[in-house]
A and B are shown apart, each in its own frame.
Chain A
């Protein structure tokens, strides 16, 4: 810890509430901070802070020109356009979103999940042996997914998910993050009509998704984000989760595996996360009231992707306040890399607000990078 950080830490420990209150409640907090600490710097170099999209981005917006995909779906359903033309429109939108992320100042891009019908059926639809059934609510959102039905014959996919990754790599100048729904959450969201019990289904899905991880890695993706929202809500099967990540992790090649939790309190998981063989952990602060305090006390469990901006509300956080919080959180952590992102994918926000959150993410990372 450098001299500056030591002074901040010392002051913070003595008068933590005063500093935080001042920073959080005074609109001139930044100015005040440098008055209190003439040498105050937000930077926590040499730690690398990267702004990134969590995963998804709204595929349509308010303007007519932002509704291309919506019209394309309708045209496809009415057979006015063919699959090739539809996919061309999707390709265009993925490119557009890559460009949006680059312009917004992200250091790492995703495909925005533009092609995903939903979190479950998109993955299951590319794997062998799944049927796709009726709609179910996606956790506590007002967004619905088609429930996959898993039978005994489920197996390796058609390579479509890796092709999507390859498309992003071809079209992005920045490092790429691919996204997969994790085996635990997929098993939870499926209707299990196989002869396997839940644990067996998780293992089988980990093997199957391991192939996808391998394919994505072989295409050259930099990060693979394994999303486990179901686990964060009911974190009772820790050993099972660990095993599934272990199975997939063996196939990751040079890619870094990010195990991401959202829509649930991550705080109780923190102490045990180092047992899981992931390269990075994605944490949702909005559902985890004690998380900041926990991380300040014990440090981060490893490289982290911090979902500190609320991906479910239009209210815009103040970049400086978030930067102060992050600096406190990261002060005691001896990690090389930290991603700053939203608590969940951005598709739960209207596009204009999602874009502002994305810009805010970059602003926060920019402050921290000095």
Chain B
């Protein structure tokens, strides 16, 4: 358990802390503004103002629910890799590729040497943290995932591209810590995809986190966890934020065989479904989790970022999560 580490960082959390993976849906006015900005119909300042407004709205909502560890909702990001690729020198914007169904994302191309451009997320984190006394997570995409979700025309192989990215993400982590951030999430959803490359991801994450004074979470989703478990526990983080409900909690069987030795943020609602899971269903998922995991080590959140849902669906899902957690906590 890593509650001692959190304590040393000055963070006290209740049992089953509630949080979100990172992204929330953009409200319609912001979606329109982003389109308008692309067409040159509004200025960068106007867009920035609306991104701020949307961030404040999501911060207020999370506070009002009573969530424990907040996120800024990534109102200023289009995509978790493209956002960084647009800023980091060495990337070309690439083009649209399909994620699923009718969803597309910009997949960038590494065309040259990657260099750290200076803080990329720190100002947004500071703005969000100013709005609450609760901890706000610093949100970064991990080096392995940025590499895997980019085309590479420059580095000789996947490992070298990952390490180049790790070195510059490390600098961003240092900047976040300097700004006061104590919980930093490094999203590595691609890490479960090629089990044979887990070592590359581990080495890259080690470059990012080694000697940095923060509580580190990594988010991993939609992959073959069973193929990298329990080896994945070697990744140098304190907490694994995992998508669990989408796969009917089937990882619990593996936890029964090989105990989960780190903290876990347990995904309890599907982010790709319009269906709003009711409180009882979420409660039962949490209770199942607690049969295999010590209660001090469990955090609760949705399976993944909520940006693909509507604002209303996202709020309803988060509301039900919070109510379910409160009900379970009452019985502990």
Interface residues of A (CB under 8 A from B): 58-62, 69-70, 73-74, 77, 117-118, 134-137, 139-146, 313-315, 347-353
Chain B residue at minimal CB-CB distance from A137: B222
A134 and B95 contact, CB distance less than 8 A: no
- B109 contacts A by Cβ under 8 Å: yes
Q: What total of chain B residues lie within 8 Å of the partner, measured CB to CB?
A: 29
A61 and B97 contact, CB distance less than 8 A: no
Given A134-B246, A135-B222, A353-B95, CB of A144 within 8 Å of CB of B100: yes
A313 and B97 contact, CB distance less than 8 A: no
Given A62-B96, A144-B222, CB of A70 within 8 Å of CB of B190: no
Question: Which residues from B are CB-within-8-Å of A348?
Answer: 97
The one of B98, B148, B222 that contacts A59, using a Cβ cutoff of 8 Å: B98
A-B contact pairs, 6 of them (CB 8 A): A140-B194, A142-B149, A314-B151, A347-B98, A349-B95, A351-B96
Given A134-B246, A134-B272, A137-B222, CB of A314 within 8 Å of CB of B94: yes
B151 and A117 contact, CB distance less than 8 A: no
How many pairs of A and B residues are in contact by the CB < 8 Å rule? 80
8 smallest beta-carbon distances between A and B, as pairs: A350-B95, A73-B102, A144-B100, A314-B151, A315-B153, A140-B193, A134-B246, A137-B222
- B61 contacts A by Cβ under 8 Å: no
| Per-residue contact bits, chain B 94-133, to A (CB 8 Å; 1 contact, 0 not) | 1111111110110101000000000000000000000000
Question: Which residues from B are CB-within-8-Å of A140?
Answer: 193-194
Given A348-B97, A349-B97, A350-B94, CB of A136 within 8 Å of CB of B222: yes
Given A140-B193, A140-B194, A314-B109, CB of A145 within 8 Å of CB of B100: yes
Interface residues of B (CB under 8 A from A): 94-102, 104-105, 107, 109, 148-149, 151-153, 190, 193-194, 222-224, 246-247, 270, 272-273
Bound together, the chains give a CA A358 to CA B148 distance in angstroms of: 23
A143 and B98 contact, CB distance less than 8 A: yes
Q: A115 to chain B: closest CB distance in Å?
A: 12
Question: Which residues from B are CB-within-8-Å of A351?
Answer: 95-96
B223 and A350 contact, CB distance less than 8 A: no
Question: Which residues from A are CB-within-8-Å of B96?
Answer: 58, 60-62, 350-351
Bound together, the chains give a CA A145 to CA B222 distance in angstroms of: 10
Bound together, the chains give a CA A67 to CA B35 distance in angstroms of: 15
Bound together, the chains give a CA A325 to CA B246 distance in angstroms of: 45
Bound together, the chains give a CA A314 to CA B190 distance in angstroms of: 19
Bound together, the chains give a CA A69 to CA B222 distance in angstroms of: 26
B107 and A350 contact, CB distance less than 8 A: yes
B102 and A142 contact, CB distance less than 8 A: no
Question: Which residues from A are CB-within-8-Å of B148?
Answer: 142
A142 and B151 contact, CB distance less than 8 A: no
Given A60-B104, A315-B153, CB of A144 within 8 Å of CB of B193: no
